[in-house]
Structure formats: structure tokens, C-alpha cells
Amino acid sequence: MNDQEYKLRLEQAEKQRDILQEILQERLHQDEKWGGPEHDDEHKQGDWGEFLLFRAEDLAAERGDHRRLLIEVAALAVAAIESTDR
């Protein structure tokens, strides 16, 4: 890998880190809003699919800030994974 390729990969990794940080911040916000693991664990696996589908419909219909919705969907997916893993 030459210096130019290295710099491009480093820039990409920094952008990905920033995006993941936004997702984690949204995840914390969701926990504050909904009550955290205690609330999340009340849901069945199928519920998570419905929640994700609902938000995905907003994306498909172009309702709201597209990027913001993607962050919310990603954080919701993290919540579903966390709940599944507990």
C-alpha cells in the first residue's frame, strides 16, 4: 500500500469512527427515552423486525432527514442485537 492509499484508508476509517459514534449516541438517547435494557427485553424477536420495518418505511417514503433516519435504524438494530444477546 502506498502513502496515498494509506491516507485514503485512514480518512475512511476516521469517517466510519465518527458514524459509529453517532450511532452509539443515538443508542444512548433511545435508552434514555424508552428505559434501557429492562424495556428492550420485554420485546420478542419479531417485535424488533416490526420496529425496524416501520423506520425503514420512513426511509423508503423519504419522510424526514434520510441520514438521521439511517442513524436511528442502525441504533435500533444495535438495541435488537443487545436484547438478543442477553
pLDDT at 28: 97
Q: What is the 3-state secondary structure (H, E, C) of 26-49?
A: HHHHHHHHHCCHHHHCCCCHHHHH
C-alpha cell recorded at residue 47: 417485535
pLDDT at 55: 92
Do 77 and 83 meet the contact criterion of CB atoms below 8 Å apart?
no
Rounded mean pLDDT of 59-64? 90
The model carries a pTM of 0.88
Rounded mean pLDDT of 60-79? 95
The gap from C-alpha 84 to its chain's centroid, in whole angstroms, comes to 15
Report d(CA 81, CA 78) in Å as an integer: 5
Tell me the residue type at 66: H
